[in-house]
Structure 1
């Protein structure tokens, strides 16, 4: 199953808190990773108020990530990392678990 680095967990929690700000009772908010239709594996990451039917759920270090079925299969042995670029934009990276 996908794992998260501490940096990724912190950024996911920050994004989730912003998503749930309009509804503090929403404890299911998180990020959702979906696989895009393309010749090479490509993923889309978006804020989500909760899982979609069939999503796998990863909870680590207080962060929640939802994965559609194709993403869950492709990312099974990966680790999600995150950081900020010089302009302050979030950059996600996938690494092999190790």
Structure 2
């Protein structure tokens, strides 16, 4: 797959322009955990610039729009489209989930 030539772009918007979706994976901590301090330390790292850059290096897009461009700067330039789309992305409200 390293030799696959492909491009990326934004999703087309409903009424013209472009659109974006926000949503995805979450970290979950059970209520009774006895290791809350370690969990908080991990989450602080995971959401830091260093953590977001490391996660991006291994295929996860940053979840923080305020640092996305910086976290992706040394990676494939096509990722910058995703960073720009994050600024517009919204999770749709619904009472029906899954």
TM over 0.5: no
When Rg is computed on C-alpha atoms for both structures, the one with the higher figure is 2
Structure with bigger strand share is 1
Length-normalised TM-score, structure 2:
0.28
- TM-score, scaled to structure 1: 0.28
Structure with the higher fraction of residues in helix conformation: 2
